[in-house]
Amino acid sequence: MSTESNTDLLKTMTCRPMLERDLAEVVIIEKAATEFPWSLKNFQDCLKAGYQALVFSREIDEIIGFTILQKVVDELHLLNVCVRQELQGRGIGDFILSFIIDYAKDSSFSLIVLEVRVSNSRAQKLYSKVGFNEISLRKDYYPALIGYEDAILMGLDLLVLPFTDDMNNKL
């Protein structure tokens, strides 16, 4: 990987639909970045089902992250988001999450929901930072090394506007 700055990296990122030909690289990224990765078949099933599957790349078309989204009436379910392990901590996850939120707002979704492992405090902090709140706990949701691990169900209500000083001045 190059030593380009975080700003340069984010400026050169592009987004496009995930294609069948991307799946080998997506699976490699997923396996390197997570302890319990999705299988190739999981990704194939998502494409086949018509889920919104996106890859984020550099200008040279090297995939550096991806997301899988499912539309359910007026909700957007964030099923998977992943950044290439060696590029984590450089703002790419923030960038992808901001992209997802903007997409959801532009598409008139009212809510974004996701599950996150109880042990994944790094992801929880990222989601909380942009306004996701804990909705409930799903017991024994994820496979773990021994047994199962709980998931936190989080949601971002897109219909609630932040109360700012500008809004206060208009009252």
Active site residues: 115, 127
Q: Sign of the C-alpha dihedral, residues 168, 157, 93, 69? A: negative
CA dist 38 and 142 (Å) reads 12
